[in-house]
Amino acid sequence: HSLTTTKYYPEIIRTLNKVFELNSFRENQLEAITAAMEGRDLFVLMPTGGGKSLCFQLPALCKTGVTKGVTVVISPLISLMKDQPVVSDPEKIDSSNSLKHTLRELHRDKQLARFVIDEAHCISTWGRDFRDSYKNLDCLRREFPGVPIIALTATANEQVEMDIIDRLGIQGCTRLRQSFNRPNLNYEVRPKNKSVVADIAEFIQQKYHKETGVIYCSTKAQCEDLAKKLRDTHKLSAQHYHGGMPQAEKASAQEEWQKGYCKIIVATVAFGMGIDKANVRFVIHHSVPSSLANYYQETGRAGRDGNPADCILYYTGADCFRKLHLIRNPPKDTDREKTPEQIHREEDAFRRVMEYCQNEVDCRRVQVLGYFGETFHPQNCHQLCNNCRDPTAEIKEDLTEVAVNAIKLMQALANNGSQLTKSQFVDVMRGTLEKAEVFINGRERLILSFRAGSATTAKRPKKIKADSRSTSYAEPASAVRRTKKAHELEEDPIALFADDDDDEPEFVDDIIKPV
Ligand code: ADP
Ligand code: ZN
């Protein structure tokens, strides 16, 4: 291969062995390193754990490259420095001025070897976490002409990739993309019900006793609560981690987990950036992730050592409603108000997660990788997802229409002032409702029945039949509380699902908006 015959190769391989104590390259690493040595602009798209760091750390230590001197790495992790001892505003200006000054001097002396932009998707407003501090990076090319720029990311669809390249002004760069498939990860979606904690504990005890993992929750309270239950009830080594903890506590929780003193970390998504632990055996989502890109990133922390690992996502309709509600009504205390466009994009991204959870037919890898624009052939999954594994999941039937009908039906009910209990509603959404009586105006009775089909379709609404019978009917059973009629309702009453308890026969006609 020509890469092994370049004049840089001897130094590259020597550095790999001597400094990094490694003996082979992973996919695209040698390509990236060689391009860096040749002084090219470079765009590297590599999945989490793929080994991006080596692509710029190794050339930084070599002397034979076209450009010499200092490699400047720009990484959003540096923003963690914000949490460090407070720097007074005069000081800040001073330090950024002196940094600029230093860079200019280095540039003048031809001692700037390259700029490296890690987590480069942060520069794109299309990306999932745009950083203000990255906005100014478009000046690098102008202010430091002739200094190569290397952009690395694990998150980029083609739109984000184009945006990164445009903003950095590196249109002619060498582009290295690779498959995002993580062949050693098993992907599974499980229904979430009341026994979820016991399920998680049992799974860990049986399969990964005394091994390391991450459990993601959506709220700080959930993290604390779940960690406590795992410790107290199930005798597992678990600790919580979330953004509300003091910096020192966070650091020590992370360190204990990193070093293996604590096995399970129960965290919000605040946990993750920058962690590098090779032997994470499971990543469990106790709550749904915000997007498939995030899901990929979060599950990507499992199995970095290449050994088998499990990614399990617990899903319920109620969680999804809550999440949608949060997306549409973002908390007001954040620094920056979200634009309607941003909210729309977040909602879109989340709908893809819901589709992923509800799709029990297509290979999970095909679905996740498809999100990144990658075409994956399901035979290459090798039964490492619950859809490929479940031999009965052979439905090739598009049930979208059935679901649409269910929604139409419920809207019609809402228009008629009908009432459906909360648990019935959840059942409708899950498709598990067998038969339900729904009252229209407290008099008319409508019978909804979902005929369960074969074993494989039992979980989905096979057919929805609505019989309207004008039987005169007395008041609904006394156990059932009356609530407001659909037309009297507030704009977005999905908040009704603010608690998990579906036991109470609370009406939900108010969550179905009249058409
Ligand atoms: P990324 O930044 O792409 O998520 P890292 O650069 O942190 O990934 O690398 C992930 C892990 O893989 C690290 O533990 C790193 O030491 C290891 N690694 C990287 N390159 C190689 C290689 N060529 N051979 C063996 N291990 C490697
Ligand atoms: Zn599969």
pLDDT in tens, 354-374: 889 988 778 999 999 988 777
Greatest alpha-carbon pair distance for the chain in Å reads 92
Name which residue sits closest to atom 20 of ligand 1, judged by CA: 51
* Six-digit token string for 129: 């976490």
Whether 387 and 360 have beta carbons less than 8 Å apart is answered as yes
* Six-digit token string for 328: 């549409």
- Helices (H) and strands (E) counted in the chain, each on its own, are 16, 15
* Vertex 225: Cα angle to 221 and 229 (nearest 5): 170
Name which residue sits closest to atom 5 of ligand 1, judged by CA: 51
Atom of ligand 1 nearest to the CA of 276: 7
Q: Is 21 left (phi over 0), alpha (psi -120 to 50) or beta?
A: left
DSSP state letters, 205-241: HHH-TT-EEEEE-SSHHHHHHHHHHHHHTT---EEEE
Name which residue sits closest to atom 17 of ligand 1, judged by CA: 51
Q: Is the CB of 50 under 6 A from ligand 1?
A: yes
Q: Is the CB of 250 under 6 A from ligand 1?
A: no
What is the CA(25)–ligand 2 centre distance, in A? 28
Averages of pLDDT over each 10 residues, the chain, 515 residues: 91 96 94 97 88 95 94 72 47 68 93 94 75 83 96 83 94 93 95 94 96 95 97 97 93 93 94 82 96 90 93 90 84 74 88 87 90 85 91 48 57 60 55 49 47 30 31 23 28 31 39 37
Alpha-carbon span 55 to 238, nearest angstrom? 35
**CA nearest 210: which of 176, 261, 270, 283?**
261
What is the CA(384)–ligand 2 centre distance, in A? 6
Residue to mutate, 24, 30, 276, ligand 1, most ligand atoms under 8 Å from C-beta = 276
What is the CA(377)–ligand 2 centre distance, in A? 9
What is the CA(187)–ligand 2 centre distance, in A? 8
The pLDDT value recorded for residue 160 is: 86
Q: Is the CB of 48 under 6 A from ligand 1?
A: yes
Instruction: Considering every ligand atom shown, identify the ligand nearest to the alpha carbon of residue 33 and give its number.
Output: 1
Q: Is the CB of 47 under 6 A from ligand 1?
A: no
Rounded to two decimals, the pTM is 0.61
The pLDDT value recorded for residue 492 is: 28
Q: Is the CB of 25 under 6 A from ligand 1?
A: yes
Name which residue sits closest to atom 2 of ligand 1, judged by CA: 52
Alpha-carbon span 168 to 181, nearest angstrom? 28
The pLDDT value recorded for residue 264 is: 97
Atom of ligand 1 nearest to the CA of 20: 16
* Six-digit token string for 178: 């690779």
What is the CA(207)–ligand 2 centre distance, in A? 21
201 CB burial (10 A radius; 0-12, 13-18, 19+): buried
Q: Is the CB of 54 under 6 A from ligand 1?
A: yes
Alpha-carbon span 471 to 444, nearest angstrom? 6
Instruction: Considering every ligand atom shown, identify the ligand nearest to the alpha carbon of residue 47 and give its number.
Output: 1
The pLDDT value recorded for residue 466 is: 33
Instruction: Considering every ligand atom shown, identify the ligand nearest to the alpha carbon of residue 361 and give its number.
Output: 2
The pLDDT value recorded for residue 398 is: 47
Atom of ligand 1 nearest to the CA of 22: 24
pLDDT digit string (tens) for 280-307?
A: 999 999 999 999 988 998 999 999 898 9
* Six-digit token string for 115: 């700029």
Alpha-carbon span 445 to 418, nearest angstrom? 9
What is the CA(51)–ligand 1 centre distance, in A? 3
Question: How are strands ordered across the β-sheet holding 42-45?
Answer: 70-74, 112-117, 149-153, 42-45, 174-177
Q: Is the CB of 276 under 6 A from ligand 1?
A: yes
Atom of ligand 1 nearest to the CA of 55: 6
* Six-digit token string for 176: 């290295």
106 CB burial (10 A radius; 0-12, 13-18, 19+): middle
Q: Is the CB of 52 under 6 A from ligand 1?
A: yes
Name which residue sits closest to atom 13 of ligand 1, judged by CA: 51
Question: How are strands ordered across the β-sheet holding 264-267?
Answer: 185-191, 309-315, 280-285, 212-216, 264-267, 238-241
Q: Which helix (H) or strand (E) holds 447?
A: strand 444-450
Surrounding ion ligand 2 within 5 Å at CB are 363, 365, 381, 385, 388
